[in-house]
A and B are shown apart, each in its own frame.
Chain A
Amino acid sequence: EVRLVESGGMLIQPGGSLRLSCAASGFSFSSFAMSWVRQAPGKGLEWVSGIGIGVSGDNTYYADSVKGRFTISRDNFKKMLYLQMNSLTDEDTALYYCAKSWAAGIRDYFDSWGQGTLLTVTS
C-alpha cells in the first residue's frame, strides 16, 4: 500500500525558513515523480513544486509564486521528499500535501496523496 507521510509544518514568523519532509513507502520511490501541492485555509489546490526521477537538479520545477524561495529535493535511498522553504510570507500559510505522480514525469496525474502538514506564517 502506498503511504505518504508529511512532517515539518509549524508556526513560523515571516522571513523565516523551514524544511518539510515526506516519507514514502509501499512503492518504488525512485521510479516516480513527486510533487508538493498546497491548500491555503478555505481555498483551492495550488501545485507548488515537482521533481522528476533521479537526483539531478535540472529535473525540478516550481510555481512562479515560490520560484527562487523554495527548493525541492529527494533522497531515493531514504525514500524521502523534501521542500526547503525560505523567505516565508503569510501567503505561504497552507496545508502542504506530498503527492505521487502516476509515472516518471511530473506532467501526469497524482494517484496518491499524503494527509498534509500545516505551515502557518504569522508574526
Chain B
Amino acid sequence: DTQMTQSPSSLSASVRGRVTITCQASQDITNSLNWYQQKPGKAPKLLIYGASDLKTGVPSRFSGSGSGTHFTLTINSLQPEDIATYYCQQYADLPLTFGGGTKVEIK
C-alpha cells in the first residue's frame, strides 16, 4: 500500500498570509495526487486533481505542485473561509489512500 504522510498536522497563519502543506508518498505515484478541503461538519470537497490542476470554481489562490513522491498545496493570501482541514489522496494504486490531514487555523 502507498502511505501518504502529510505535514504539518496543524498550522496557524495570518489572513493574507501564505500557507504551504506537504504530502509525501511512500513510493513514486507520478502525478496521481488530489487535494481536498473539509470544513467542520461538512463533506470533503475537491480542490486540485492530478497534482496541479485546479478544479473549476476553486479560487486561484489555491495551487498544487510536485510529482513522484513529494507534493505541495499552497494557499496564497489565506482567507477566513479557508479555515478547514486539508487532505491529500493518491490514486496511483489501490487501495486509495489519504494523508492524515492538515488543520489550518487563523492566527
Contact = CB atoms under 8 A, between A and B. Distances in A.
Give the size range of A's interface with the partner: 20 to 34
A64 interface: yes
Contacts of A110: 34, 36, 44, 46, 89
B43 A50 contact: no
Contacts of B36: 45, 110
A113 B91 contact: no
A45 B95 contact: no
Contact of B1 (A44, A61, A64): A64
Interface string A84-123: 0000000000000100001000111111011110000000
Nearest to A111: B46
Interface residues of B, number: 26
Contacts of B49: 102, 109
Contacts of A61: 94-95
A113 B39 CA distance: 13
Given A102-B49, A113-B43, A63 B95 contact: yes
A106 B1 CA distance: 16
Contacts of B34: 109-110
Nearest to A49: B95
Interface of B: 1, 32, 34, 36, 38, 42-46, 49-50, 55, 87, 89, 91-101
Interface of A: 35, 44-47, 50, 61-64, 97, 102, 106-111, 113-116
